[in-house]
Each structure stands twice: as structure tokens, then as C-alpha cells.
């Protein structure tokens, strides 16, 4: 990244976006863990993990924010780079953990048969980890060719996951209580839509988008996508768990 091209306004906007990300993830974590006691025991693991995902993200937004502050010095209204690196790879460390977990959230809140829960968690979670692990070498690659190669490789598990969410889960969703079917579908589509941002952004450097405006778009965009995929998605999971708890109590 050409950090030298950033204006003070862009630097500040990104810093504020990181701080916003940290605040959202931290607040979401506390919210999920407080609301955990309000769902039936069968859904508490799902809500615990929902909060874990945002807790892990809060930690990484803190790391990202500190790394960002260290890479720049602002003095008397002028901005310059310090030469310290901005470690964007913290995002990959975060995703390696949180992306499999948030797919597992969705599987757990559906309360499928035990065998199906385990196999779906392993397959979807494994594909998600593979997708992130294959993106990382591309992110740190020196050449555009290597970046593009790993983009292609990473897209294979990505497409598998999208297929599973949109088509593979259809039967299981049909068996869910009627009052949450739409919400579960919504959660699956929220994952797919918010995830589309990542592979597109990944290609930015290949098409010459590297200046201050591009960096701002990427960092702010990642932050918004993360908030959608983790905090907003988590709220959907919580609402699903609450409605299912209610539904089962009425039936019992």
C-alpha cells in the first residue's frame, strides 16, 4: 500500500472507522453474552459463539488501530509516514478464526440432527478456513501474478460455501419452524452478500487502485463488511434463537 499518498483527512477517517469497528464489536460481544441467558439452553452454544466472533474481531480491530496509528505521525496538521509497517495481515488472522465460527453459529442455531451438525460444521468451517489460508499468500505476494493465482484458489472454497448456503441448506431450512424460516434465509444471504466485498477488494491492487482514496475505500469497506457479517449477522442469529426458544416453550 502506498501509505504516503494518504491525506490527513483520509488518515483520520480510517482511524475513526477502526475505532468504530472496535466499539461496535466490543458492544456487540457484551450484548450477545448478556442476552445468552434469555434463550433456551439448546441455543446457548450458538449465542456464546456469536459473542466469541465479535470478541475476536474487537481484539483484532484494536491491533489494527494501534498498527495504523504507529505507521503515521501527525504534527501541526501535517501527516507523514513513520516507516513502521501497517500490518494488514491481522485481518487474515481474524478471519481464519471468525469466518469458520460464524458459519458454525448458523448451523448451531438451526438445531439439526447431531450428525448433520457435526458434518456441516466440519465441511463449511473447514472450507472457510481453507479460503482464508489461501487468500493470505496472495495478500502478501510481491507480484500481481501470485496475487491473482491465490485469488483463484481461494475462490474455490468460497464458491463451495456460497453454494452450500444458498442451495445445500435449503432442505434443512424448510424443516425450521415457520416463524424463523425467513430470518434464517436472511442470515444466509447476509453472509453471501457481505462476503462479496472481500474478493472484489482483493483485486483492487491488480487494477491499479492503490492511492489514498483506494486505501480509504478498502479499509472502510472491510470494516463495514465485517460489521455486517459479524455484528448484524449475530443479531439475526440471536433473534432466531429467541423466537425458536419462544416457539418451543409454547409447544411444550
- Applying CB under 8 A, the residues found at the interface with a copy of itself are 9, 12, 15-16, 19-20, 22-24, 26-27, 30-31, 33-36, 38, 41, 44-45, 48-49, 51-52, 55-56, 59-60, 63, 74-77, 83-85, 87, 89-90, 92-94, 96-97, 140
Cβ proximity to a copy of itself, 3 vs 169, nearer residue: 3
Nearest to 155 by CA among 131, 136, 176, 173: 131
Q: C-alpha cell of 63?
A: 491491533
Q: Phi and psi for 111 in degrees, rounded to 5?
A: 50, 60
Q: C-alpha cell of 195?
A: 462476503
Dihedral (CA of 177, 99, 236, 31) sign: positive
CB of 16 to a copy of itself, least distance (A): 5
Cβ proximity to a copy of itself, 87 vs 160, nearer residue: 87
Cβ proximity to a copy of itself, 106 vs 169, nearer residue: 106
Cβ proximity to a copy of itself, 76 vs 175, nearer residue: 76
CB of 26 to a copy of itself, least distance (A): 7
Cβ proximity to a copy of itself, 147 vs 169, nearer residue: 147
Cβ proximity to a copy of itself, 39 vs 161, nearer residue: 39
CB of 27 to a copy of itself, least distance (A): 5
∠171-175-178 over CA atoms, to 5°?
125
CB of 166 to a copy of itself, least distance (A): 25
Cβ proximity to a copy of itself, 45 vs 192, nearer residue: 45
CB of 64 to a copy of itself, least distance (A): 11
CB of 81 to a copy of itself, least distance (A): 8
CB of 162 to a copy of itself, least distance (A): 26
Amino acid at each position: 500500500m502506498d501509505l504516503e499518498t494518504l491525506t490527513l483527512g483520509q488518515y483520520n477517517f480510517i482511524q475513526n472507522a477502526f475505532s468504530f469497528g472496535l466499539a461496535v464489536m466490543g458492544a456487540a460481544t457484551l450484548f450477545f453474552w448478556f442476552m445468552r441467558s434469555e434463550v433456551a439452553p439448546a441455543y446457548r452454544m450458538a449465542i456464546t459463539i456469536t459473542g466469541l466472533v465479535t470478541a475476536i474481531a474487537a481484539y483484532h480491530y484494536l491491533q489494527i488501530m494501534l498498527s495504523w496509528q504507529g505507521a503515521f505521525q501527525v504534527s501541526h496538521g501535517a501527516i507523514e509516514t513513520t516507516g513502521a509497517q501497517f500490518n494488514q495481515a491481522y485481518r487474515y488472522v481474524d478471519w481464519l478464526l471468525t469466518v469458520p465460527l460464524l458459519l458454525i453459529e448458523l448451523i448451531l442455531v438451526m438445531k439439526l440432527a447431531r450428525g448433520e451438525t457435526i458434518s456441516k460444521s466440519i465441511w463449511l468451517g473447514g472450507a472457510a478456513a481453507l479460503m482464508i489460508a489461501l487468500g493470505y499468500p496472495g495478500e502478501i505476494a510481491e507480484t500481481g501474478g501470485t496475487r491473482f493465482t491465490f485469488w483463484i484458489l481461494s475462490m474455490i472454497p468460497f464458491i463451495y460455501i456460497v453454494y452450500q448456503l444458498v442451495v445445500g441448506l435449503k432442505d434443512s431450512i424448510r424443516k425450521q419452524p415457520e416463524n424463523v424460516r425467513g430470518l434464517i434465509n436472511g442470515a444466509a444471504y447476509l453472509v453471501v452478500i457481505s462476503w462479496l466485498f472481500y474478493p472484489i477488494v482483493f483485486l483492487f491492487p491488480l487494477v491499479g487502485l492503490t492511492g489514498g482514496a483506494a486505501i480509504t475505500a478498502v479499509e472502510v469497506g472491510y470494516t463495514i463488511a465485517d460489521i455486517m457479517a459479524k455484528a448484524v449477522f449475530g443479531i439475526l442469529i440471536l433473534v432466531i434463537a429467541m423466537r425458536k426458544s419462544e416457539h418451543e416453550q409454547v409447544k411444550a
